[in-house]
Structure 1
Amino acid sequence: MREEIAAHLAYDVPRQPFSTGWIETLWMIAMLPRAIVRLRPDALFCAGNSYTIVALAMKLLLGRRCPPILAKISNDLERRDMVAPIRWLYHRWLRLHGIFIDHFIGMEEPMAGEIEAAIPAAIRRISIIPDPALDEAQVMRLHHAPRPARKARTGGLRFVGVGRLATQKNVALMLRGFARGAAALDSLTIYGEGPERAMLTALCQDLGIADRVTWPGHVPDPASRLPEFDVFLLSSDYEGVPAVVVEALAAGLPIIATRCSVSMTALTGHGALAHLVDTGDLDAFSAAIRDAGRLRQDRAASLAQARRFTVEQASHAYLARFQSIRRHAPACRNNFAPSD
């Protein structure tokens, strides 16, 4: 994804003697302390709770020299998908976050209560900033993009999904729901790549839908393709605030999605802008696909909701949070010895 990152920013990328993707977290823990000592940042941003182990490592390795850390909670904290013993350990791990994270960002209002329940020590250190999924120009391009008439090409509905082909996304549920609920001329396109691709394409064969499911893989800016379709599908077991739903709202697509996050109801206008079903509920998901031809989207309400989740809206709020934790933290630069 290196070609997709924003231009005109200063990137500090350590030289890699070999491919480090398979040890990504350990590589960050090994490389980041030296970069912090050299760059002396005012604050660190942990872009998701998958990386909070790196934040803990920085606190342990650097001590008082570690800048304050602001962490975005990017995924569901309940994790009902986990088996009980693992879930118990995970919740104990979450409670420790209150010790080494200085400030927490939730991506939609219901996440404040979720964070407080999972990390009691975080109370009064939580801000809600709607996830900056798109910029204003992208939202408007999606909203005004020409939309082919329904059933104009094939006589069937064109369903679309976007996401990594990984266990969390439960694409198998989407395929089974499509096989059971879609009409004979309906089609499904799934943008994304991941470790489950071979299993999922084999499942298509088993379900007898291989000729109606298309796998373009990972493509730059898949959101720009959404106006070509009729209905958006999301089948995840857990999410934070899924950016793909914001993209579908901007494009004005009817949405069928699982209740994969505490924020899904608020994100979809208290359910008015999506047909929501329980996670893992194949009967409900397939029934929603069967009735998808009746779905109509309030495009004005969808646009208004999508515009809450823009870079322009979030950037000022993020800057204010960084300035706030900097004011209330020790002067980290003064903690570096002159010899560093």
Structure 2
Amino acid sequence: MTAVTPRPLRVLTFLHSFEPGGVERVALRLHRAWLAQGVDARLVLGRTDGAMRREWPGLDADVLNSHGLPTAAWETLWMMLRLPGRIRHHRPDVLFCAGNSYTVVAVVMRLVLGKRCPPILAKISNDLTRADLPAVARPFYRLWLRIQGRLLHRVVGMAQPMRAELETLMGVAPDRVAIIDDPALDEAQIAHLEALPRPPHDRAAGRRFLAIGRLAAQKNFPLLLRAFARIARDGDRLTILGEGGARKGLEALARSLGLGVGVGGRVALPGHVNPVSDALLAADALVMSSDYEGVPAVVPEALAAGLPVVSTDCSVSMADLLGHGRFGLLVPVRDEAALAGAMDRITALPFDSTAARAQARRFTVEIAAQSYVVEMQRLVHG
């Protein structure tokens, strides 16, 4: 009797586009790792636009054909309308929801497809407390979290401190929660950053602060610009890598603060840059000014580059990520004076780059991809 070889696990990941974002970059990194591990990984894209497209040459994706109709302005609704048909076509064993911005699509799939919906494993990519929301919106947000907790089959937190949030705020039973450190980078990246020499830089001639992220409200770059303006000395520079709709407002704010933008100014906004290794190695500190985050991938990248971090306390996981003060400074969210003070002190504090790189190695795709497969197998086979 001939033995039947079991079919590889089939996983479908859905993303809007190649527009730069930490959630999308991590999802694509996991997708590539799953393919290398023999998983039948399928990728559905709403459109092929975005600056990250050149980072993934030869990527095989099922693109939702819009026949020339622009879908960027209503991409979530577009995905809701078209994804059910692609799920029926691909017949995945598991539907992978890459982050909070995609959970609404996952919930709609569960409602539309009913019993035909494959089990959903959702990575929770942002802080759930969302203290930045207006008081009137918070009850509705809490209700939305409970709906997700009821309809998503299993949720993954990106660091151990997130477990309590997932169980309490989403109402998810402990056996439906998994913790997998965010795959922010891979071993090759860490080795590359470790091997590259740090360019010589005389801090007496000016400090180099670096921020990385979408130019969007969540990142609160206006706070960063105002904090930098408070402490900027002659020669100090702030570079913000990223692109988004807030660009014009940030440029105007920088000029109004007397910082200047571009050549001759103290602030640089060069847009989306990849890889960011040169920028990390040229900086004296990474700064995060976000109102809320999950486990931002740029922090392990900075630690792998031997760079200290100043951050708002924008996530329940941030203190753990920064080694409870070993690798950087935390300040209250939206506290301009505290952020400025921490930026002013960070370059004078002792920093153990070897220990920082060891911390970064927790967050590699080599570890995470296999852990996700294990969780998916459990979800499928019980």
Band of TM-score, shorter chain: over 0.9
Answer yes or no: is 1:140 the counterpart of 2:194.
no
2:236 to 178, 183, 186: 186
Q: Does 1:197 align with 2:251?
A: no
Return the alpha-carbon distance in structure 2 between the equivalents of residues 123 and 98 of structure 1: 11
After superposition, give the CA deviation of every residue in 1:145-182 in whole Å (9 maximum; x if it has no partner). 21123327x81111111001111000011111110012
Match of 2:8 in 1: none
Q: Does 1:161 align with 2:228?
A: no
Give the match's secondary structure for 1:104.
Answer: strand
Q: Does 1:93 align with 2:144?
A: yes
Structure 2 equivalent of residue 214 of structure 1: 268
- The structure, 1 or 2, with the larger RCO (C-alpha pairs under 8 Å, 6+ apart) is 1
User: 1:61 deviation in Å?
Assistant: 1.1
1:31 paired to 2:85: no
Quote the Cα distance in structure 2 between the aligned partners of 1:64 and 1:38.
Answer: 16
Deviations 1:212-235 (A, max 9, x none): 101110122224421111111111
TM-score by length of 2: 0.83
| 1:72 counterpart (108, 120, 123) | 123
Asked whether the 8 Å contact 1:43–1:68 carries over to 2, the reply is yes
In the alignment, is residue 170 of structure 1 matched against residue 220 of structure 2? yes
- Opposite residue 14 of structure 1, the aligned amino acid is L
Amino acid at match of 2:321: L
Q: Which string of whole-angstrom CA distances, capped at 9 and with x for unpartnered residues, describes residues 233-282 of structure 1?
A: 11101000011111110111121111110000100112211111111111
Counterpart selection for 2:286 from 232, 257, 263: 232
CA contact 1:183–1:290 (8 Å) conserved in 2: no
Give the aligned residue type for 2:381: R
The amino acid that maps onto 2:211 is G
CA distance in 1 between counterparts of 2:107 and 2:140 reads 16
Stretches of structure 2 lacking an aligned partner (at least 5 in a row): 1-50
Between 12-21 and 159-168, the greater mean CA deviation after superposition: 12-21
Which residue pairs with 1:252 in the alignment?
Answer: 306
Q: Is the 8 A contact 1:136 1:312 kept in 2?
A: yes
One-letter amino acid of the structure 2 residue matched with residue 156 of structure 1: G
What corresponds to 2:34 in structure 1? none
1:242 has 2:242 as partner: no
Unaligned runs of 5+ in 1: 329-340
Tell me, in whole angstroms, the C-alpha distance in 2 between the residues paired with 1:19 and 1:123.
42
In 2, the alpha carbon distance for the partners of 1:122 and 1:85 equals 28
Cα separation, 1, equivalents of 2:57 and 2:186: 15
SS at 2:330 equivalent:
strand
Number of matched residues? 327
Structure-2 residue corresponding to 1:61: 112
User: Which residue does the alignment assign to 2:135?
Assistant: 84
Alignment partner of 1:71: what SS?
Answer: strand
**Counterpart secondary structure, 1:121:** coil
Aligned sequence identity (%): 49
- AA aligned to 1:279 is V
